[in-house]
Structure 1
Amino acid sequence: MKLNDKQKNIARFLGIRAGYFLINFLAKTYRITRINGNYLDDMIDKGENFVVAFWHGSMIPGWYLHKNFNSAALVSKSKDGEVLYHILNKWGYKVVRGSSHVGGKEALEEMISLLKEKHTLVITPDGPRGPRHKMKAGAVIAAKKAGTPLILAGIYIKNKICLNSWDKFEFPLPFTKINVKYSEPIYIDKELDYDATSKLINNSELYLKKLQEEAEKID
């Protein structure tokens, strides 16, 4: 049966509603272990904000875990992004619509503005379309221009369903163990030139990959 536009809109609305309740319910069952989480705790206790970045494929625990830090997020303008937009809104995020492909310049400017307004920016640096585990510039540039530190988070999900998508999206199963290993805060000199900033982006990508591997090895 082929759906008309009205039926598609109804189906999308129901999917958004069901998706939020399902993910929110399951997330409360996860057994999460944080390594170096004191870096975040110390900054929050001091009233400081930051940029936290994790890979797109592990976004469910990533978004859930960082939702209570006066958080803001970048979500693509696609129809898939619409579902995520509503979930993050329910979790209290300030949501910016855009990506490196659509509305990128405007989205970056708004992210920098939100950081200056003391929001914590939560971002998947290889999203929204990859390549997988290839860090784009947004997280580093936003942290640099706003004068806030960058924290990288490797996330390992033990029991999950892996989708056949570009990011090998991981859907955590109920009561699964999840390890999150953070980097120390990375402070970025606002005066870094283009070449030094590009090198920092590459080094941050390698560092996040290392954190991801280390999170997988934790018992």
Structure 2
Amino acid sequence: MHDDPRQSLKANEERYIYAVLHAHQVSAIMDSEPGTGAMVSRSNDGQMIVPALRVRGCVPIRGSSRRQGQDKGGRAALQAMIDHVVGGKPAYLAVDGPRGPRGRVHKGIAMLARQADAAVITIAPVPSRRWILTRAWDRLQIPKPLAKIDAYFGPPLRIKPEESLEDFCMRIQSDLAQLEAEHDPQEYAAATAK
């Protein structure tokens, strides 16, 4: 763990949410604290990650954004995430998922931060050994067995009262890009070259 702000947030009884890239979600799960809520798509892909979440003591909250006018449970899942965070437990979101584009932060994290009155902690987990699914839209990373995961944290970000959701998303996006560029430069270069 590098520059981990969680202890000071806990000492000040502040709520917090983790912001990770979709490509890093598996590594983030491996390093999450018990009771962390995680929004997971209702798709078959989402179903595959639920057992790993439960093994790590995370709470899967199912739902994703609308597609072609069809409700995928996103609004109910967002409310469940808000309730989870307000109840004193952290949550994490793959902020550019479920469909990308890679690195572009969607407004769900900003809505959650504002409505739950929570700080956002950006994280770039970097496994010592990993498989990278180079044909996936996000270059999904899967840590290899016994890999060490270094988690690099950005400073807590708080949405300002007058700040738009879009502007807050841009700050989160900038922090995530900076963390990945600094601590995983080869993968950052490969991912942004697409």
> Considering the TM-score relative to the shorter chain, is it more than 0.5?
yes
1:43 counterpart (9, 31, 42): 9
Conserved? CA contact 2:15–2:117, under 8 Å: no
Return closer, same or farther for 1:46/1:199 CA change in 2, 3 Å cut-off.
closer
**Alignment partner, residue 197 of structure 1:** 165
**Alignment partner, residue 58 of structure 2:** 93
What is the letter of the counterpart of residue 36 of structure 1?
A: D
| Paired residue secondary structure (1:35) | coil
**Alignment partner, residue 130 of structure 1:** 100
| Paired residue secondary structure (2:15) | coil
1:58 aligned onto 2:58: no
How many Å separate the matches in 1 of 2:93 and 2:78?
12
How many Å separate the matches in 2 of 1:192 and 1:109?
22
How many Å separate the matches in 2 of 1:155 and 1:64?
10
Name the Cα RMSD after superposition: 1.8
1:77 counterpart (42, 54, 58): 42
Gaps of 5+ in 1: 1-33
Deviation string 1:168-201 (CA, Å, 9 cap, x unpaired) is 1112223434332111111223x335xx321111
**Alignment partner, residue 146 of structure 1:** 116
Question: 1:47 Cα shift?
Answer: 4.5
How many Å separate the matches in 2 of 1:44 and 1:89?
23
1:157 aligned onto 2:127: yes
How many Å separate the matches in 2 of 1:74 and 1:43?
22
TM-score normalized by structure 1? 0.75
1:180 aligned onto 2:180: no
Greater share of residues in helix: 1
What is the letter of the counterpart of residue 100 of structure 1?
A: S
The number of residues matched between the two structures is: 179
Conserved? CA contact 1:56–1:124, under 8 Å: yes
Deviation string 1:37-91 (CA, Å, 9 cap, x unpaired) is 1x112223455431011111111220121132x3111000001111211221222
Gaps of 5+ in 2: 67-71, 186-194
**Alignment partner, residue 104 of structure 1:** 74
TM-score normalized by structure 2? 0.84
How many Å separate the matches in 2 of 1:175 and 1:72?
25
Q: Which has the larger radius of gyration?
A: 1
How many Å separate the matches in 1 of 2:150 and 2:183?
6
**Alignment partner, residue 15 of structure 1:** none
Give the alignment of 1:7-46 within 5 angstroms.
34-37=1-4, 39-46=5-12
